[in-house]
Amino acid sequence: MNPKTKALQERTHRFFIRVLSLCERLPNTDAAKSIGPQLIDSAGSTDSNYRAACRGRSKREFIAKLGLATEEADEAKGWLNALVARGLGDVAEARVLLKEADELISIFVKSQITAKRSPERNGRLRR
């Protein structure tokens, strides 16, 4: 596996784990009880869809899975923004995770653009 691919897989997984930790410490309010599970789902899907993209059987599948990872990271960003706006939980950590979500989105979008431009080799995208 390409070292950059492996590093990004580790990064998306760390993002997910940090979101889990943040959500475990949310206050026991109706808002937090609603936001927490959705944030966990979207952060987990960011991680799992990027991993699935890396196992893509074709360039088209890789690009599609990257698109899903991008959508899920953007959804996580929305939930993190809500936590910050309401001052729920560890706002400083939520802000750090917001920055990470932004960076992941940027990386995924750039990867999609690159993949669309690059040729496919033997039915598989070179990564």
Residue 29, domain member (yes or no): yes
Is residue 96 included in any domain, yes or no?
yes
Pick left, alpha or beta for residue 122 (phi over 0 → left; psi -120 to 50 → alpha; otherwise beta): left
- The yes-or-no verdict on residue 124 having pLDDT over 70 is no
* Token pair of 79 as six digits: 């939930």
How many domains is the chain built from? 1
pLDDT 10s digits, 23-78: 999 999 999 999 999 999 999 999 999 999 999 899 999 999 999 999 999 999 99
Domain residues for the domain of 111 are 3-116
In a domain, 104, yes or no: yes
Bridge partner list, 124: 121
pLDDT band at 122 (very low <50, low <70, confident <90, very high): very low
- 0.85 exceeded by the pTM? yes
Could you tell me the CATH number of the domain that includes residue 84?
1.20.1440.60
Q: Which residues pair with 121 in a beta bridge?
A: 124
3-state secondary structure at position 124: strand
Residue 91 located in a structural domain? yes
